[in-house]
Amino acid sequence: MACTIAVEEVIEQHYKSQIDSLPTTTPSEIKKVIESCYLDEISHKEKAEDHDGRETKGYKTLSTAIKTGCRAAIWLSKRI
């Protein structure tokens, strides 16, 4: 659950950034898909929080490492 929280927080931020940067001319169907994915990530994070994911021993360290890896993967995916 700790891993899920960390991953979902990064992905949630990523989707939010995409939503915020969409041109006004973006077709509503595309925007709806991205918004749906964004809401799914929030739901996954909340589920993991409900299962005490933040209470995991070493959560802060684990979360930092996982978030760093996720951000690196996003950065790489934008360049490949």
Q: What is the pLDDT along the chain (80 residues), one digit of tens a residue?
A: 999 999 999 999 999 999 999 999 999 999 999 999 999 999 999 999 999 999 999 999 999 999 999 999 999 999 98
pTM exceeds 0.85, yes or no: yes
Tokens of 37: 């994915």
* Closest residue by Cα to residue 15 from 40, 43, 34, 30: 34
Query: What per-residue confidence (pLDDT) applies to 51?
Result: 98
Query: What per-residue confidence (pLDDT) applies to 62?
Result: 97
Query: What per-residue confidence (pLDDT) applies to 80?
Result: 87
Q: Residue holding tokens 């790489």?
A: 76
